[in-house]
Amino acid sequence: MFMSTTRITRGRRLSRTHRAIGAGLAGFLALGGVTALAGTADAATTLASAASAKGRYFGTAVAAYHLGETAYAGTLDTEFNSVTPENEMKWDAVEPTRNSFSFTSADQIVSHAQSKGMKIRGHTLVWHSQLPGWVSGLGATDLRTAMNNHITQVMTHYKGKIAAWDVVNEAFQDGGSGARRSSPFQDKLGDGFIEEAFRTARATDPDAKLCYNDYNTDGVNAKSNAVYNMVKDFKARGVPIDCVGFQSHFNSASPVPSDYQANLQRFADLGVDVQITELDIEGSGTAQATNYGNVVKACLAVTRCTGITVWGITDKYSWRASGTPLLFDSDYGKKPAYDAVITALGGTPGDGGGGDGGNGSTATCTATYTRTADWDSGYNGQVTIKAGDKAISSWSVPLTFASPQTVSTTWNGTPSWDSTNTVMTVRPAGWNGQLAAGASTSFGFTVTKNGSSTAPVIGACTAS
Ligand code: XIL
């Protein structure tokens, strides 16, 4: 059981009653592991489960490139229930040359998210940045056609799969003018381009929520007033818009505004949902934790604030890595900010898996599954166990198999079965329990399909 070393050491100093409570707690935690693998996540010990308990989603920006990294995918799958492709759906990624679309990397994120039952935010259809050169070279008529074609093609490709699209991103200028930002769209098509983009988007995928997304609009100021007036006008004239995204990139030069909640609320009062779409807060320790907690509280205080997305999982891959602005450190350890978010969501930090609480005291591991062979009547699976940033002396991982599959052989691991014969918990084979920090081992098994080829559900890896 993880934390056992700490517990036993402490237990020696505790009274018998306290030791009994400790044992009871260990039993409860073990049970929690079994629940998680059956697909019902332990209540409120992860970002996703704590947010769900409040009727919100908790998402992160994801880069397709990192999905093959065990700790990255493990933390994503354990902690989050919504994803936003960080770059893969931007214009330069999906339509690098006119009318030639490439969806490979974005598709990877979408299938990963779908296989885990996560929501997907589409980001973004019309934006002045990460825009290929051919777009800015077009004249007005061609540009209008290209913009509508881009929206139509991309949204059609993902039709039915995207919960919300950032239809237009960052169309307003910073500063006190409240003016539109200069861009090929603004300069050649005029103010009407935003409305046109939203109308095309609605016609293409009527089930997707359509958002306007921007930064420096998090508090009440000239820029957010301009966006507010646009949304108000859209609602008054029946231009389709469902949500406004507040990027919320914060640092000492751009702190969390004191009127953050009031600003979210005034937009919500216009009859749109509001979402925190790219949250990151530079800093560390208690100061960063307090800021994160305050952002979460602001969202929870606004009924129409439907979810929060942080702009990345780990500090090491953040677009602002030097500011360490995320919830997990470079080793996927949970930072104080993580605990503050869970606490603000009403959850209990400490046993959700995927990190070590940032203080280095807990052994952790991740488990990744691959199908290594497949034939008509059966398949072979392999699970790789990787130790977190502390050495571990043992591990266990539960696998739930779809009925009527049976497991005929297991190697490099010791299986035990639950009473329903669907959950196989695998522990070390005797020689592969001890792993140095970051080291891996694998076990394998053969499944008889009996008609079902469904992959097993891999529960959280538990280390001690
Ligand atoms: C950033 C990505 O995080 C970087 O990887 C990329 O190099 C630049 O774009 N506003 C947005 C996001 O809407 O798309 C931006 O993402 C950050 C600012």
Is the pLDDT at 177 greater than 90? The verdict is yes
Q: Which residue has the higher pLDDT, 36 or 391?
A: 391
Atom index in ligand 1 nearest the CA of residue 319 equals 3
pLDDT (mean) for 320-348: 97
Least confident of 2-11, 59-68, 396-405: 2-11
Q: What is the pLDDT of residue 16?
A: 34
pLDDT (mean) for 227-252: 98
Is the pLDDT at 239 greater than 80? The verdict is yes
- Helix count and strand count (H, E) for the chain: 14, 18
Tell how far the Cα of 311 is from the centroid of ligand 1, in angstroms: 9
Tell how far the Cα of 345 is from the centroid of ligand 1, in angstroms: 26
3-state secondary structure of 274: strand
User: What is the C-alpha to C-alpha distance for residues 242 and 245, in angstroms, rounded to an integer?
Assistant: 10
Among protein residues, the one whose CA lies closest to atom 5 of ligand 1: 319
Using an 8 Å Cβ cutoff, are 146 and 106 in contact?
no
3-state secondary structure of 59: strand
Condensed to tens digits (0 to 9), the pLDDT of residues 15-46 reads 333 333 333 333 333 333 332 332 333 447 99
pLDDT (mean) for 152-176: 98
Atom index in ligand 1 nearest the CA of residue 169 equals 13
The residue whose two tokens read 């093609």 is 153
- The residues annotated with a catalytic role in the active site are 170, 278
Cβ of 318 below 6 Å from ligand 1: no
Condensed to tens digits (0 to 9), the pLDDT of residues 355-372 reads 443 444 578 889 999 998
Query: Probe ligand 1: pick from 92, 124, 129, max atoms within 8 Å of CB?
Result: 129
Domains of the chain (ranges; CATH) run 47-344 (3.20.20.80), 363-463 (2.60.40.290)
Q: What is the pLDDT of residue 36?
A: 31
* Antiparallel, parallel or unpaired: β 395-400 and 423-427: antiparallel
Q: What is the pLDDT of residue 361?
A: 57
